[in-house]
Structure 1
C-alpha cells in the first residue's frame, strides 16, 4: 500500500528561471543564456521526476513570489524574504504536519531513491542531510513535531561551512547523512554534470 502523501512533504526550493537573474556564478562562466537553460532544465527534470511519486506531496517554494501556473504537479508555496535560513524556516513552519524534505533545484542528479532514503532516515532521526561537495548540502529533511528544532540560525550560507554550522546547530540530536552529490554552481561543475549525463 502506498504511503499517505499528505503526511510527507517534498519541497523544491528554487528561483524562477529568468534570463539574467540567479545562477550568477554559473552565468559568469558560461553566459546568461546557458545558465538559464540549465536552471530551467534542472527544475523541470526534478519536478517531473519527483512530482508524480505517490509517497509524498511535491511543493515548489519559489522566489520571487508570483503566480507559477507552469509548476504543476507541484503545489506552490512562497519563500518570502530574508536570508536562506529565514526562508527555509518559514517554509518548514508553513507546511501541514508531517516530515518535510527540502532540496535545491541546482542538483539535477537527485533521484526518487534519494528522496525515499531521506524520508526513511527521518523515521529514526530528527534530521537528514545530503552533503554537497562544496561543504553545503543539496538536501535537508526534518522529522518535525511539537518541539521541532530548526537549525538554520547562524549558518554561514554559500560557504564551505554551511553543513558544519547546521550540524552544530542540531546540538547533538540524531542526524543521518545521505550520499554526497555536487551542486551545479559554476562552469566546471556544469561540464562535469553534462559529461556524466552523456555517459549515463
Structure 2
C-alpha cells in the first residue's frame, strides 16, 4: 500500500510567514529563512522513493507558487478554510488509500529517517505523533485502516503548551497511539539560535 507524506505549507511571502520571528529579525529575513528551509525540506523528502509527497498549501490561490516546483501540480492541494485542526484533518480524509504522515514546513532537523520511523510506528498503531519540546507536535500520522476518530483535534487549545496533551486526551480509549522522535519548529529567534553551533 502506498505511503503518503503531507507537508502543510504556507507560500513564502514576506510578512505572511514566520511573523513572530520576523518581529525579531525582520520580515524579509524571516521570509528568506523560511523559503530556504521549505525548499530544503521539499527537496529532501521528494527524493525518497518510500513515500509520495503531497503539499497542502495556503493561501489556496498559491498552487502555482514557484516554491512548490519540485512537487507535481497534481499533488498540490489547497488547505481550504478552518482552524488548524480542520486543515490538518483534510489530507487524512481525502488522500488515496494508505498510511498518511503529516508534517509542518519549518522543522530544520527533520530527516528521512524520522519520517520512516513514523511510518514504521503506524504498522502497529492507529496514530503517531512527533512531540515538540514546546508541548505541541511537529508530526501526526494515521494508519487509516479504520475511520479517523471524530474527536481528533477537537477541543485543542492551539498555540499553547498543551496542544499534544489536549490532542491525546480527546482520543477514544480504543485508539492506539505512539510517539515518534521529538523535534522542534522555528517560531522565534530563540529557536533559531538553538540551531546555531
1:69 to partner: Cα distance: 5.1
1:135 pairs with 2:135 = yes
Contact between 2:11 and 2:65, CA under 8 Å: does it hold in 1? no
Match of 1:24 in 2: 19
Contact between 1:133 and 1:183, CA under 8 Å: does it hold in 2? no
TM-score calculated relative to the size of structure 2: 0.92
Contact between 2:149 and 2:172, CA under 8 Å: does it hold in 1? no
TM-score calculated relative to the size of structure 1: 0.90
Matches of 1:101 and 1:46, distance apart in 2:
15
Instruction: Tell me the alpha carbon deviations over residues 178-200 of structure 1, each in whole angstroms, 9 at most, x when there is no partner.
Output: 1211210001101211x14xxxx
Q: Which of 64, 68, 75 is equivalent to 1:68?
A: 64
Match of 1:9 in 2: 4
1:146 to partner: Cα distance: 3.7
Matches of 1:191 and 1:37, distance apart in 2:
16
Matches of 1:78 and 1:191, distance apart in 2:
32
Q: Which of 37, 44, 48 is equivalent to 1:42?
A: 37
User: RMSD of the TM alignment (CA)?
Assistant: 1.4
Match of 2:157 in 1: 156
Give structure 1 stretches of 5+ with no counterpart. none
Match of 1:191 in 2: 193
Match of 2:96 in 1: 96
Give structure 2 stretches of 5+ with no counterpart. none
Instruction: Tell me the alpha carbon deviations over residues 90-120 of structure 1, each in whole angstroms, 9 at most, x when there is no partner.
Output: 2221111110000001112100000000000
1:165 to partner: Cα distance: 0.7
Contact between 1:78 and 1:91, CA under 8 Å: does it hold in 2? no
Match of 1:168 in 2: 169
